Amino acid sequence: MSSILKALKQQQSPIVRTQSQLNNELFAAQKNSASGTAKWAIGACVAAIACSLVVLYLPLGEQDNAVAQQAQQPEVYRWGNAATVPTIDWAAAPEPKPAEPEPIIVNPRGQAAQQPASQQDALATEGISEDLLSRFEQAVKATADAKQNDVDSVIPTLSKLNPSLQRQIRAFTYDAHMYVSDESRRWIELDQQKLMVGDQFRDMQVVKIEPQRVVLRRQGKLFAVEALVDWKGAQ
């Protein structure tokens, strides 16, 4: 009995070994298959993550490239439209005329002799202002006949005064006469004495210095003396 069982075991042994070997191979195959599936799944996950990263960072990279290109691109300047400048005609503008020199008269002694004239009284100035007298003179000059050269002022000249008045004024020389636009710089020289407006000469006062004469006042009466004409006294 025991020999029969031993024989049967020996006969079944190859079969058992074969089945065990098949089981091992099948397990190994399943293990390899599971390992391959896991690797495939891991690879698929890695690929998906990589694609996501590419999709996420690709626009950022394009933006960076665009910014870099804009930074590297040189600025383009464009010329504006030319404005028309009006032409200036310099020739049309009048050139300023140089100021004419002010008249200055210096006496070369011995000029101009006295002229005979009709006798007149000196002009009394009591109660009359010098401004009113000056305006009155201008009105007389404006209305006087151009042919009557003697009628050029309401103030008579010394040579035209009455002899009784002329005899009261002693002879004197008219040495120099300077007339400028600035009244404070005008002056005359009588008997080598320099006089300005307001100065006293003997019993006469210098009232006004005009371009061609000087106006004097004596005892409240006015008379004029022609510039650079010496007074030789009553004849």
What pLDDT, in 10s, does the model give residues 124-143?
555 566 666 666 666 655 55
pLDDT at 141: 58
Q: Give me the sign of the Cα torsion angle 131, 132, 135, 141.
A: negative
CA distance 198 to 215: 11
- How many CA atoms within 13 Å lie on the side-chain side of 64? 5
Query: Is pTM, for the whole model, over 0.85?
Result: no
pLDDT at 199: 96
pLDDT at 174: 96
C-alpha to C-alpha distances, 36 to 21, 23, 30, 42, 47, nearest whole angstrom: 22, 20, 10, 10, 16
Give me 112's structure tokens. Answer: 């101009």
- Residues 206 and 197: beta-carbon distance below 8 Å: yes
pLDDT at 47: 77
pLDDT at 7: 63
| Confidence band of 69 (pLDDT split at 50, 70, 90) | low
Report the pLDDT averaged over residues 83-93: 67
pLDDT at 147: 44
Average pLDDT across the chain, whole number: 72
Report the pLDDT averaged over residues 25-48: 68
pLDDT at 186: 96
54 or 116, greater pLDDT:
54
Q: What share of the chain is helix, strand, coil (3-state, %, to 5)?
A: 40, 20, 40
pLDDT score of 228 more than 60: yes
pLDDT at 154: 84
Structural domain boundaries of the chain? 1-74, 104-226
- With pLDDT > 90 as the criterion, what percentage of the chain qualifies? 28
pLDDT at 150: 43
46 CB-contact burial (10 Å; exposed 0-12 / middle 13-18 / buried 19+): exposed
